[in-house]
Amino acid sequence: MKIGIPKEIKNNESRVGMTPAGVYELTKYGHTVYIQSTAGEGSGFFDNDYKKAGALILDTIGQVYGISEMIVKVKEPTEVEYALVQPQQIVFTYFHFASSEALTEAMIKSKSICIAYETVEDDEGTLPLLTPMSEVAGRMAIQQGAKYLEKPVKGRGVLLGGVPGVAPGRVLVLGAGIVGIQAAKMAAGLGAHVTILDINMKRLRYVNDVMPPHVVTEFSNEFNIRKHIKTHDLIIGGVLLKGAKAPNLITKDMLKEMRPGTVIVDVAVDQGGCVETTKPTTHEDPIYIIDDVVHYCVANMPGAVPHTSTMALTNVTLPYVIKLANLGWQKATAKDACLQKGLNIVEGEIVYDEIKEAFQI
């Protein structure tokens, strides 16, 4: 199969759909990989790395879309790309169709086969192509939180690990899912005291089994949250109710009960946030302060570490890319129930119920 990797043109997107390692694997199976010149630079992969792995470099995005039977990328096609998508072409990427009617209409019109990373779903109902980005964001949350706890950026002036003779900082993690567990692990590794809250006892039992004793689990309810916000330095929001807006576990009035310089990193900002005062920020201007509490609410945290994020993403997408290339989309999706859930739009027809519901089709 001819596989094309265009350069991402969405604002501030430095990830790329395939690493040189992916090119190497696909060429081993006899496939041809075309990559747009400089597509990998933002992630630290250069044209020469791709050439050595067996890719052919093309100058323009139009050439990549024009020649490829399958496009593998990261973000949904932008408006400029709508007309470049070809009939019967497989497009394998994050789409998030329900949030854009224009994109949905354009892909229906293109008669392409749109397979969305975010709806590939395994037997347990987890989303394997979203997990790595939650892992990145969870780990990064502590890195960012530790930075904003410093006094020059209006934090409490607390070193998370403490020092001999001085107690460590205290981190409160809301949600013991992918984000929460990765955050707890990083904070614990720095030596901080960690309290992690969830409403799912299975998750809390798991955390209790695998984490060191300075990671303490408690059931999530308003009483416990009100108690802990007074004594914790850094609060991580990692709560998710599938398909719904995140619940406001921290309300505006609670900010007054926190100590000045407390930092909130609300990772759940992309689902509305679990703090009432959360509003989305960007890497250029990541924080704001309300009632002396520092809020970090960047909606695309993994975008700041594209080298790691690209590798984390392509590690999990590559096996599906290989399957699609080896078998073609019909056989690959017929054989693999997880991949089949990724089918969103096929040759002009929406085949995923939630998208139909979103636009009342």
Interface with ligand NAD (CB under 6 A): 133-134, 137, 174-180, 197-200, 203, 220, 238-241, 246-247, 249, 267-271, 299-302
Least distance CB 143 / ligand NAD (angstroms): 13
φ, ψ of residue 217 to 5 degrees: the values are -95, 145
CB 192 within 8 A of CB 166: no
Angle at alpha carbon of residue 43, lines to 37 and 46, rounded to 5°: 40
Residues 6+ apart with CB under 8 A from 337: 123
- Assign 287 to helix, strand or coil: strand
Least distance CB 27 / ligand NAD (angstroms): 32
Least distance CB 95 / ligand NAD (angstroms): 15
Nearer to ligand NAD, 31 or 232 (CB): 232
Characterize the bridge pairing of strands 234-237 and 170-174: parallel
Whether 295 sits among the annotated catalytic residues: the reply is: no
The CA–CA distances, whole Å, from 234 to 81, 252, 253, 262, 278 equal 41, 17, 18, 6, 15
Nearer to ligand NAD, 136 or 321 (CB): 136
The residue number with the shortest CB distance to ligand NAD is 177
Least distance CB 74 / ligand NAD (angstroms): 14
* Distance, CA of 51 to chain centre: 29
**29 burial class (0-12, 13-18, 19+ CB within 10 angstroms)?**
exposed
Alpha-carbon torsion 246, 252, 258, 259, what sign? positive
Nearer to ligand NAD, 160 or 301 (CB): 301
Nearer to ligand NAD, 23 or 136 (CB): 136
> Which is the catalytic residue, given 270, 291, 292, 336?
270
Nearer to ligand NAD, 179 or 194 (CB): 179
**242 burial class (0-12, 13-18, 19+ CB within 10 angstroms)?**
exposed
Nearer to ligand NAD, 13 or 47 (CB): 13
Least distance CB 225 / ligand NAD (angstroms): 8
Whether 96 sits among the annotated catalytic residues: the reply is: yes
Nearer to ligand NAD, 48 or 200 (CB): 200
Q: Identify the DSSP state of 247.
A: P
Least distance CB 173 / ligand NAD (angstroms): 9
The DSSP element (H or E) to which 317 belongs, if any, is: helix 306-335
Distance CA 194, CA 234 (A): 10
Residues 6+ apart with CB under 8 A from 186: 138, 139, 141, 142, 143
Nearer to ligand NAD, 179 or 345 (CB): 179
**Widest CA span of the chain, in angstroms?**
67
- The one-letter amino acid at 150: E
Least distance CB 133 / ligand NAD (angstroms): 5
Which is nearest to 244 in space by CA: 270, 282, 278? 270
Least distance CB 227 / ligand NAD (angstroms): 14
> Which is the catalytic residue, given 96, 228, 307, 336?
96
Catalytic residue IDs: 96, 270
